Structure 1
Amino acid sequence: MAGDGTRIHVARGADGTIRVAAGSPVFAHDEVDAVGPDFARSVLDVAGAVLVWPVLGEPGPPVAEVHDVGRAQQWLWAVYGEPTAAAVHACATAGGEASPVPAEPGALAGDAARLGFAHWAARWWPASYTDGIAVLEPDVLGLESAALTHRCQQLFDDLGDQPDDCVPELIEEHRAGLGPLIRWWRSAPQPADTARRLEKVLRLIDDAADAAGLDGPALRELRSALERGLAGTPVDAGALFARRDGYALAAGDAPGSGGRVIARGSGTNDWRRYPPGFVDAAEDSVSWTARALGARRQMEVEVVAHVAAPVTGALLVAEVRVNGGPPSRVPLARRDDVWTGRADLDLNPHHDLPAAATAPQVEVGVLLPGFDPGAGLGGRADRDAVRALARRRLADAAQPLASADVYDTFSAPFLAETLAATATSEDY
């Protein structure tokens, strides 16, 4: 972006934090972040700062909240350019706001943005059977994230307060994906650009494992494979990884409980209220039915499960509000491909499901107790935009890259996206 006219604004807040932002004057520190809701932004904890990029729209320099200027100076110049690094130093010394300076990003800027997006994809990728958005294979994404983190080591230091500097942990957690990744690289036929990307990631993982002192059969197999080179063995890349084929929605009979149906509808699927891998990301994944059983009023809720949703352990709940009344919670359990549950509502004059023809105002959402951050920014339009982004990236991942250099750009597909792009509609 050097020479494109982008200006970087630097200002120091009352708490001493220095904010760095591009394109417009730095906004007040107590304002809501301008880069959108949390599921529409990628975040990196780096030495002395937090970096934030908008996921939607054109990529550009991140917004930085710098809390330790001394530590941040090791990467500021490589992400924003020397003028910005000098402006941050001046703000730390004199306070106030520096004059806007030109953006002069280096190679680290693109790598950092790509790493931030990898973390975003691990948390927010809107995998959905009903929307036709394929799951990203977690071991492939995790290993590529490890490779990118190793490549971005200039962003981190040794003080241990940066959770995103986690190369050894990522390699250990996703070690099971190394063997399939190696066989994918050594397979034939495959596009030349895919082979180059695979080799680049595998060599970075090998370097990172060596630097971290990691060892084991999978890593020794990696070193041996890199020494031997390509083998040309035919293989189906999709078959190498654990895929959850045969996923069918709402298998089995619905948990009908009799009674008269008063109302039914769809709830809200707010991705922020449960961890990744629990719920299908489609907007209409949450549905409910209200029934009258004599004087009782019962709510049934069904939520389409993510293909990786846990069968045991932590259980979701549905939060139900009727006619603006206080919330009631309906425990949900995994049944085949859905989370299901039903419960009698504790009705009072302000929280009632009328027996008359008047339709009640019912709000239903799904959450994991203890994880739920509560209400926040973002709605259906934001989620639709993220779904559109995922579809575009999968469509792009199905096409060969123009050149090897394209892989080093922010918008280039991850290997996990390339793998997902080969999935058929029957897979998901």
Structure 2
Amino acid sequence: MPARHPAVTRAEDGTVQITEPIAGPAFTRAVLDVAGAVLTWPVLGPTGLPAAEIHDVAQAQQWLWAVYGERTAAAVDAVASGAPEAAAEPMAPEQPTALAESAARLAFGHWTARWWPASHLDGIPALEPGALGLELAALTHECQQLLDEAGEVEGRELLEEHLAALAPLVRWWQSGASPRRLGGVLRLIDDAADGLGLGGEEIGRLRSALEQDDGPSGTPLDLADLFVRQGEFALAAGSARPATGRVIARGVGTNNWCRYPPGFVDAAEDAVTWTVYALGAGRWIEVEVVAGGTAPVGGGRLAAEVSVERVHLAAEVHVDGGPPSRVPLARRDDVWTGRANLDIRASTTPSVEVGVLLPGFDPGPGADDRAAREAVRALARRRLGEAAAPHDGEAAQSGPFLAEILAAAAVEEDF
């Protein structure tokens, strides 16, 4: 007998919830904005059906039955109409529906675009943004029943932004050495482009390749060179040291991923370092932050927030438990650096805490969950290991993303 789904409830603000909200830092949750609701899955645990926060029940009814089943859709209607919650105990489907599986994969794909812990220091490669962006565009098209107008616009932006990645993906598919899913992704992209009225050289070549479909070319293909790889980090030397200053304290700062946009800081725990110098009675601190090498996938709100021209990172410095002061950071090669004077007594060795943030983007200090960050790194390494294994027979909604397979190939080449 199928297990009962947790009761559908109505919150004080009038939203209808399916299951309890998922707890934990933002980077441990995969989130998908859909028509009339927000769906959430845990990244570090079993996925299954998502938690839902429904703010427009009428709009959500276009997909509720296809994700949770008809009894859940009816229960949501009942609770929204004021029926007692005890009367609304739906039963979950025995197996996740196709739409539920596609939605979970799309949500996780958006999670990788935002939270993948790319780090030169930790040896976790960045994901190829073009391959990831096009697979997300394909999944968005596959999940169009779930989406409102804003979601459809996001799918178009993903496709338009990453059209240049189509040619290498087609080459990969034609080589005969690609995962089975790639053909389906390319056909979904073709369908999406057709529905959106998109054309151009890239789409034309894609359609020609799909129409011919005359089997593998047999041409050897080096996945590590399929896309133009980002140059290796050439970590710059630290900021210029004062010739006569002496070091009186140094340490590693806090690297809280939630306090800056994705891709601008290396995700390693020891990416933020600081040194306090003394010269006579003067004291100052110098902060170095290893820069990241990626930018988020897709356009829209997040891309606007992380525009390189508008990014001015800062270090937040606490000395001896006092109020924070901000040290502006400037990027030089692959390191963000900054320097500021400290108002401390010459006879003391200061206790210093340093973090990095983007003013205006930063949601506030919040909980600094190092254990959760370590779990995310372990997840990324596990997925890269799985991506390096054969994957020809995988199902459409399982297995690694195309970008993960490419990243795993790059790791194998480097090591």
Q: Same fold (TM over 0.5)?
A: yes
Matched with 2:300 is: none
Q: What are the within-5 Å matches in structure 2 for residues 117-128 of structure 1? A: 117-128=108-119
- Measure the CA separation in 1 of the matches of 2:308 and 2:46: 39
The answer as to whether partners of 2:22 and 2:51 remain within 8 angstroms in 1 is no
Aligned in 2, Cα 1:80/1:377: closer, same or farther, shift over 3 Å? farther
1:198 pairs, out of 176, 179, 182, with 182
- Measure the CA separation in 2 of the matches of 1:242 and 1:273: 30
Please state if 1:103 is matched with 2:84: no
Q: What are the within-5 Å matches in structure 2 for residues 259-298 of structure 1? A: 259-298=245-284
The answer as to whether partners of 2:223 and 2:410 remain within 8 angstroms in 1 is no
Mean alpha-carbon deviation: is it higher for 289-298 or for 274-283?
289-298
Please state if 1:76 is matched with 2:64: yes
- Measure the CA separation in 2 of the matches of 1:375 and 1:252: 29
Matched with 1:408 is: 397
Q: What are the within-5 Å matches in structure 2 for residues 351-366 of structure 1? A: 352=344, 354-356=345-347, 359-366=349-356
The answer as to whether partners of 1:168 and 1:214 remain within 8 angstroms in 2 is no
Q: Displacement of 1:254 after TM fit?
A: 4.5
Aligned in 2, Cα 1:398/1:173: closer, same or farther, shift over 3 Å? same
Matched with 2:15 is: 17
Letter in 2 for 1:299: I
Matched with 1:370 is: 360
Aligned in 2, Cα 1:398/1:183: closer, same or farther, shift over 3 Å? same
Mean alpha-carbon deviation: is it higher for 6-15 or for 60-69?
6-15
Q: Displacement of 1:71 after TM fit?
A: 0.8
1:318 pairs, out of 312, 315, 320, with 315
Matched with 1:225 is: 209
Letter in 2 for 1:417: E
Letter in 2 for 1:139: G
Letter in 2 for 1:59: T
Over the aligned positions, Cα root-mean-square deviation in angstroms equals: 2.0
- Measure the CA separation in 2 of the matches of 1:297 and 1:208: 60
The answer as to whether partners of 1:156 and 1:165 remain within 8 angstroms in 2 is no
Please state if 1:424 is matched with 2:411: yes
Please state if 1:66 is matched with 2:42: no
Q: Deviations over 1:321-348 (max 9, x none)?
A: 1111111111112222211111213x2x
The answer as to whether partners of 1:269 and 1:285 remain within 8 angstroms in 2 is yes
SS of residue in 2 equivalent to 1:135: coil
Please state if 1:382 is matched with 2:372: yes
Q: Displacement of 1:394 after TM fit?
A: 0.6
The answer as to whether partners of 1:332 and 1:339 remain within 8 angstroms in 2 is yes
Matched with 1:29 is: none
Aligned in 2, Cα 1:4/1:393: closer, same or farther, shift over 3 Å? farther
Q: Displacement of 1:312 after TM fit?
A: 6.0
Unaligned segments of structure 1, at least 5 residues: 27-32
Q: Displacement of 1:425 after TM fit?
A: 7.0
Matched with 1:209 is: 193
- Measure the CA separation in 2 of the matches of 1:116 and 1:97: 28
Unaligned segments of structure 2, at least 5 residues: 296-306
Q: How many residues align?
A: 398
- Measure the CA separation in 1 of the matches of 2:253 and 2:116: 20
- Measure the CA separation in 2 of the matches of 1:11 and 1:97: 6
TM-score, length basis structure 2? 0.91
Mean alpha-carbon deviation: is it higher for 304-313 or for 36-45?
304-313
- Measure the CA separation in 1 of the matches of 2:35 and 2:221: 42
Q: Deviations over 1:38-94 (max 9, x none)?
A: 111011110110111111111121111101111101111111111111110110112
Q: What are the within-5 Å matches in structure 2 for residues 162-181 of structure 1? A: 162-163=150-151, 166-181=154-169
- Measure the CA separation in 1 of the matches of 2:163 and 2:363: 31
TM-score, length basis structure 1? 0.88
- Measure the CA separation in 2 of the matches of 1:240 and 1:6: 47
The answer as to whether partners of 1:134 and 1:420 remain within 8 angstroms in 2 is yes
Aligned in 2, Cα 1:377/1:107: closer, same or farther, shift over 3 Å? farther
Aligned in 2, Cα 1:129/1:413: closer, same or farther, shift over 3 Å? same
Please state if 1:256 is matched with 2:241: yes
Aligned in 2, Cα 1:116/1:387: closer, same or farther, shift over 3 Å? same
Aligned in 2, Cα 1:52/1:152: closer, same or farther, shift over 3 Å? same
- Measure the CA separation in 2 of the matches of 1:59 and 1:6: 16
Mean alpha-carbon deviation: is it higher for 53-62 or for 225-234?
225-234
SS of residue in 2 equivalent to 1:85: helix
- Measure the CA separation in 2 of the matches of 1:236 and 1:425: 11
